[in-house]
Structure 1
């Protein structure tokens, strides 16, 4: 199958102000954008960014794998004079200019998503929801920073109907420039929570930064924000000038339109929420998901309302979404495929902060364990890794997990990392499992951590490598594909 042209060489040169060199001149075109030769597809334009490694060192490899051309700031070693290159003064600036050009030519409705928790899950929910309404272009992975947002925009087909851009931050002042680059028609803040506190004085500071996503809205754009938070007033003030739309469990405040969660039902099969959006009663089923995903889904319905989409179809299409690996995916691992003895694994090891960890513990406490071969009831087990980037509050926030109401329903808690030692020391002795400094130490004894009937949650910031415990647990058996 021949892929459609995304960018001609002439278009890239016009967008970036770069010089096209090589034997082909401008007689070539790219069907995609890549910054990594490991995932590069033939026909991609390779962008030689410099981050942990210099992308110029991989240009020759990219061209050998079929790249249509490469954007560079100098002629790389090992690249011949005939190579199709676009030379710009600065590659990141060139990529940003290409992203701006992609946005300028787009016919799509652009949705920006930010928040302390749930950005990527909400983005993927929007993918499933919007794909039923037209052609949707959605940011891949966690492409949400100063190079990820331009890549998402540069990859956007000119004729798509919707585009979802995820915008993240680590420090003050990062979101507004990316929002202005994306110029969304709708901007959604999922929630505000204790994350990246190293760079902010308090939650209000985080809320102000997140709310700066509204600065990039088109003149008729809609600002969507969550109710029921300590920082909701900060968000509401920032949204006031942008056709605000709120969502949450609380009732309407003033003249603000509300997407409201009426009821929530959690079961072994997933979560079902009853909602009222634009005066329409809706039910949304989220297979395999915990209750903490309900407000993300409600935020997606608020986006549908802002875009004047068919809410009933959108609610139905949200039911196609399931949590991805690392973000709350629930799977049954067969230890004995013949006798079908198994345990349940909840893989939530991609990221962690106090809010998302509390929500994951709530889910674990609500689920009912199975039984082992002797009929003994299984256990609820949590494997918790350090929550990173919490600044001076880190010690108290880790120790405070011991007071979370869900802890009473757990049998054993294993802890990974120096900060989780503060939780471990506060746990009752009969609930303490292992405390280790590195995830690999638990991975090596994974076979001793579980037995048939157990439910095991693995949660931690990505830097703790808690995913290695997930891999070790998964390797104890095989996924039950019959479910």
Structure 2
């Protein structure tokens, strides 16, 4: 299938094609490039122009560049543009304009990626779905996702992220969603925003890009819910709330064998679905997804059946049995709200000694030490028998705990990895969480290795 021809891409970007070519996909990484892809030479940690020759050798149909790289022939299949990122944005806008897909855009402080993946699973039985890969949610990830979208897509699902003020609205205006959903608002990136109200205002700017007659799916019961609602109404959106007491809410949720069986009210009807994980936050966002599906014009009952095919992405709350323990890998990222939700999942797990392994939560601003210390007072923490921690910020939590519940504190995750064999014992239910920069995900891998090969030294993980 041809995604972009040289002529179409040149018309979209105002660039010059050096040869006639047709691309079946788009890649920004030679390690995952497939033959027939258009290679986009982005500048990030390294300049993508340095890899153009390699991309063409590996079968790239062409490369999107702002100059002819050294070692690449002038008649090689290239699309020459003034600047690569604006050209990628132009491809994204053109792809958006040529499709009749119903568009869903999702943002939030917690749960964007898992909710996006839930929505993709829910809508899959109802048409051709195009969704962002992994966490492609920034200034080049969103246009890349759009540019990869086939014209005959029925439903498209985008994830919009931010680190600083003013980032979400331009992404939403590029995507022009029919439905925009906010999962929740929590203290994340506080260094850039200063207050939870500032974060809410930035998240709410997703509604600025809504198509006329668009819908806003908003979490109820938050202190900042009025801010979100006011922004949606100002954008002319139809507002649907999800959560306790809202139009869309869970009527019951029963956990059994690591799965959650849910009955929910969506609008005027009731639907049943099963999630392949536990955790009230997953249930809540799944209900929001069904509300979004209904707003897109899909049948909520059919979408609910599709949810059974969803599986948590690595590091985002998946539950597994390994080497005599139950492991909850929620190590991808963390802030106080997502940590509280994860600890609630741990507290609800039946049987076993509950063990939490926690890494620093980053970008929390001037109150970061107090926010870490306050975790000791979370009600969910009372059900945790033992806490291991790493990082200077998590030390404040560690020191606030009773000595009987303190396990090992380490300066960094590497030290916990070296002691992986000491962290857990048979029968434990183990929960791992921390910000990406804390590298606590490496502790998950070390525990897996130690439990799978107990005869080897634990520091080999």
Q: TM-score range by the shorter chain?
A: over 0.9
Match of 1:10 among 7, 14, 21: 7
TM-score by length of 1: 0.92
CA distance in 1: counterparts of 2:263 and 2:452, whole angstroms: 35
Match of 2:367 in 1: 393
SS at match of 2:2: coil
CA distance in 1: counterparts of 2:276 and 2:66, whole angstroms: 48
Match of 1:271 in 2: 260
Give the superposition deviation at 1:132.
0.8
Match of 1:365 in 2: 347
Provide, for residues 411-452 of structure 1, a one-character-per-residue CA deviation record: whole Å limited to 9, x for no partner.
110111110011011000000011111111111111111111
Match of 1:242 in 2: 237
Provide, for residues 31-52 of structure 1, a one-character-per-residue CA deviation record: whole Å limited to 9, x for no partner.
0001111111110000001111
Structure 2 segments unaligned to the other structure (5+ residues): 454-461
Q: Does 1:160 align with 2:153?
A: yes
Q: Does 1:304 align with 2:293?
A: yes
CA distance in 1: counterparts of 2:107 and 2:379, whole angstroms: 28
Alignment of 1:53-452 (within 5 A): 53-240=46-233, 241-251=236-246, 258-334=247-323, 342-369=324-351, 378-452=352-426
Provide, for residues 118-152 of structure 1, a one-character-per-residue CA deviation record: whole Å limited to 9, x for no partner.
10000000110010100000000100000000000
Give the superposition deviation at 1:267.
3.6
CA distance in 1: counterparts of 2:333 and 2:107, whole angstroms: 15
When structure 1 is superposed on structure 2, of 276-285 and 293-302 the one drifting more is 276-285
Give the superposition deviation at 1:387.
0.7
CA distance in 1: counterparts of 2:158 and 2:388, whole angstroms: 36
CA distance in 2: counterparts of 1:263 and 1:142, whole angstroms: 30
CA distance in 2: counterparts of 1:283 and 1:414, whole angstroms: 38
CA contact (8 A) 2:106 2:116 kept: yes
CA distance in 2: counterparts of 1:456 and 1:239, whole angstroms: 40
SS at match of 2:334: coil
Provide, for residues 340-376 of structure 1, a one-character-per-residue CA deviation record: whole Å limited to 9, x for no partner.
xx1111111000000110111111111123xxxxxxx
Give the superposition deviation at 1:478.
4.2
CA distance in 1: counterparts of 2:26 and 2:208, whole angstroms: 28
Q: How many residues are paired up? A: 451
CA distance in 2: counterparts of 1:427 and 1:270, whole angstroms: 31
Give the superposition deviation at 1:392.
1.2
Match of 2:459 in 1: none
Match of 1:39 among 27, 32, 42: 32
Match of 2:457 in 1: none
SS at match of 1:39: coil
Match of 2:43 among 37, 40, 50: 50
CA contact (8 A) 1:249 1:262 kept: no
CA contact (8 A) 2:249 2:284 kept: no
CA contact (8 A) 2:248 2:287 kept: yes
Structure 1 segments unaligned to the other structure (5+ residues): 252-257, 335-341, 370-377
SS at match of 2:374: helix
When structure 1 is superposed on structure 2, of 303-312 and 60-69 the one drifting more is 303-312
Give the superposition deviation at 1:407.
1.4
Give the superposition deviation at 1:406.
1.6
CA distance in 2: counterparts of 1:102 and 1:478, whole angstroms: 46
TM-score by length of 2: 0.96
CA contact (8 A) 1:145 1:169 kept: yes
